[in-house]
Amino acid sequence: MIGYKLMTAFEGMEPPARILEWLRQRPLAGFTLFRHLNVGSPAQVRAMVDLLQETAVSAGHPPLLIAADQEGGQLMAMGDAMTQFPGNMALGATRDPELAREVGQAMGRELAAMGVNINYAPVCDLLTHALNPSLGVRAFSDDTELTAVMAAAMVKGIQSAGVAATVKHFPGKGEAAVDSHYSMPLIDRTKAELLERELRPFQATFNAGVKMVMSGHFALPSITGSDVPATLSRAAMHDLLREEMGFDGISITDALDMGAITQGEGQIHDIVASICAGVDLMLMTADAETQERIYTGLETAVSNGDITAEHLDDSIARINALKAWVSAAPQPNLDVIGCDAHQALSRKVAQQSVTLVRNDADLLPLKLDPSARIAAIMPQPKDLTPADTSSYVKPMLAQSLRTHHAHVDEFIVSHEPTDGEIEELKTAVSTYDLLIVGTISAALNPQQAKMANVLLKTGIPTVNIALRIPYDLSVYPDATTYVCTYSIQPHALDALADGLWGKRPFVGKLPVKMALTP
């Protein structure tokens, strides 16, 4: 029965023979799909999932859980055919929980059409550490109440489509100063502080009936009494989660290939500890050798009595109940994916989220001579963390601006522009009438900050755009015109262009606290 505790993965646009053989011989909880490993087209994904499900059921096993990280914004696990929603922080800027519910429902319907019945979303972490390297716009806000109401609304939306939502990263990693994909953060919060702030959004989603919660790989000594990751702590994953907060759904680890927990031969000890801590599902990687090592190691742990019926029976009952719940939902047709109604909803979120932070030079709305020349500048998008698919997004700032002005030239710089690039750019734009300068997390990127400051010193009228986290203003504080889009998705950039030319007002509100004085 230990196989029912494993959410595994594989590489390929169709299931490898070894995976199909596993399903014929052994039970399994299910699979996580990844964009770079498994996603081609919606029809391909649906056919692949159908084959997996048919193989499992033919072998006498319950239907499989099929999961993906479809958060919106910077993390779009299921490809470009899906509606490209701006993401959580953009939703936070709208202050509208009904929009969050509608977006959740739309994402759920599109996932369900492809056969995906678990969404590893929404993020419930508070962005209390402004430069948290793995969070940023994945968070709704740094505000407890706003995050709670938006996360609960999104959960209701996702699950209304028959897809289980997954809130993460319990008990809250907003204070993390390092990325747990690479090393283990230590969260220095007292239990009283956690109950007052970080845990309240999670509690709101538990009250809303969320089906799944994902643990975080970070140390929280005030809860665990040690520096072990919360994932491995019974005090966190049973006593706090279930006894104190009353969560009765499924718990799942964050990915087991992350640097915050043990890797290699010793990893099985952490996995056994996680199961004994009360975690239901183990989120595994696609590496075949690792999968077999973990499976064999767990069989040994059961044989040795390190894992007992007490650790398995209730957990597997919960897992099978979730399988029954997701299996009962009707599957939409593929034509729901990227449909007109969902595209309109994405545009609405963008139009209500883009935020004008500063207009000290009274430059906006733009009133340009038709012959004026605009330089549209932005960095090449890249994945800033493994929880990121931004590298798939084509830079489209100039294209959006051209819908309002004919003479717009595009300048795409490296994500970390060199000093030489910056000097060449300064020379190239010296004769332009207006600069529109986008940055992508310049608060974490000194070279982007340098580029923005060099261009501001040219004296050319400049609009500065934070295309991701809003804190970029802190590293080019002399900017007099500053707008936040929270997203590089096309609808966000179109909404930006509309606002710059006054075609519709900027109505978004900053969802985080930041200093605004020059």
Per domain, the residue ranges of the chain are 2-329, 354-500
pLDDT value of residue 2? 87
What residues in the chain have per-residue pLDDT under 70? 177-184, 258-266, 517-518
Alpha helices by DSSP H, listed for 39-178, are 42-58, 88-94, 97-114, 144-160
Give first-to-last CA distance, the chain, whole Å: 61
Tell the burial category of 262 from Cβ atoms under 10 Å away from its Cβ (0-12, 13-18, 19+): middle
Sign of CA dihedral 41, 42, 45, 50: negative
- Say if CB 127 and CB 177 are below 8 A apart: no
Residue 114 token pair: 């492809």
Q: Which residues are catalytic?
A: 181, 254
pLDDT value of residue 77? 95
Q: Which of these, 402, 319, 364, 339, lies nearest to 106 by C-alpha position?
A: 339
Distance CA 470, CA 281 (A): 35
Q: What is the 3-state secondary structure (H, E, C) of 150-219?
A: HHHHHHHHHHHCCCEEEEEEECCCCCCCCCCCCCCCECCCCHHHHHHCCHHHHHHHHHCCCCEEEECCCE
- CATH says 354-500 is which class? alpha beta
DSSP symbols for 440-451: SSGGG-HHHHHH
Of how many residues is the chain composed? 518
Residue 178 token pair: 């390092």
Q: Compute the radius of gyration of the chain from its Cα atoms.
A: 23
Distance CA 49, CA 15 (A): 9
pLDDT value of residue 180? 58
Distance CA 336, CA 50 (A): 18
pLDDT, tens only, 304-317 = 999 888 889 999 99
Q: Which of these, 73, 211, 183, lies nearest to 488 by C-alpha position?
A: 73
Tell the burial category of 243 from Cβ atoms under 10 Å away from its Cβ (0-12, 13-18, 19+): exposed
- The CATH code belonging to domain 2-329 is 3.20.20.300
pLDDT value of residue 268? 84
pLDDT value of residue 184? 66
CA dihedral 238, 6, 211, 324 (to 10 degrees): -130
